[in-house]
Amino acid sequence: MANLQDLTEAVIKGDEDKIKLTILELLNAGTPAKEIMDDGLIAGMNIVGGKMETEEMFIPEVLMSAKAMSAGVEILKPQLTDEENAASGTMILGTVQGDLHDIGKNLVKMLMEGAGFSVIDLGTDVPPAAFVDAIKEHNADIVAMSALLTTTMPKMKETMEAMENAGIRDQVKVLVGGAPVTENYADEIGADGYGYDAGSAVRIAKEYMTN
């Protein structure tokens, strides 16, 4: 019978077929989707990250793992989203300028849409001005920024400054997240909230819409 360790190994190998099959087996066996995500897929990606750092894995292999993981996330989508208790609100989402990591951002999008938010996804490598333009164009309630690199985190601050300069900072709630981002950092740059993971980001976003 499949277990979470098999899934972790399939992520490391970038074996998309094995990932899909293992997830279906785990779901059939009653394993909760969040456990499959956190202890299978994300656990595998964290090992990939370590191997990347020690140069046991290189960019093309990491990309294969990323692609395979994304296919797995798609299968979990119906199980991860909470279509009851739908919130309403418009969110601008993007990975900040200079940063191409999008798996976490896509997970945030999936769960936000599942929770009822209308999400305008600006993609990756999003300059501050593009966030500002999108807030104005869509009359957004929330701006959600993701950063995976310590070198791109300062772009979150720059984006906040661009919002201030455009006179729209007070119109939106700003939510930040991503592996190197912390609650302290969020406070330091004056963001309204910090999401440790996609699920907590949804919880916070829902609070903004009810308060």
**Binding footprint of ligand B1M on the chain (CB under 6 A):** 42, 45-46, 48-49, 52-53, 59, 62-63, 66, 98-105, 107-108, 144-146, 148-151, 175-180, 195, 197-198, 201
- The structure tokens listed for 163 are 């919002």
Q: Which is nearer to ligand B1M, 2 or 57 (CB)?
A: 57
Q: How far is the CB of 153 from ligand B1M (least distance, A)?
A: 8
CA–CA separation, 110 and 73 (whole Å): 9
Residue 71 neighbours by CB distance under 10 Å = 13
Q: How far is the CB of 18 from ligand B1M (least distance, A)?
A: 18
The closest of 68, 79, 63, 69 to 28, measured between CA atoms, is: 79
**Residues comprising the chain, all counted:** 211
Q: How far is the CB of 39 from ligand B1M (least distance, A)?
A: 12
Q: How far is the CB of 35 from ligand B1M (least distance, A)?
A: 13
Q: Which is nearer to ligand B1M, 28 or 67 (CB)?
A: 67
Q: Which is nearer to ligand B1M, 98 or 171 (CB)?
A: 98
CA–CA separation, 102 and 1 (whole Å): 31
- Which residues does residue 120 pair with via DSSP β-bridges, in sequence order? 92
Q: Which is nearer to ligand B1M, 28 or 173 (CB)?
A: 173
Name residue, tokens 């201030």: 164
Residue 118 neighbours by CB distance under 10 Å = 13
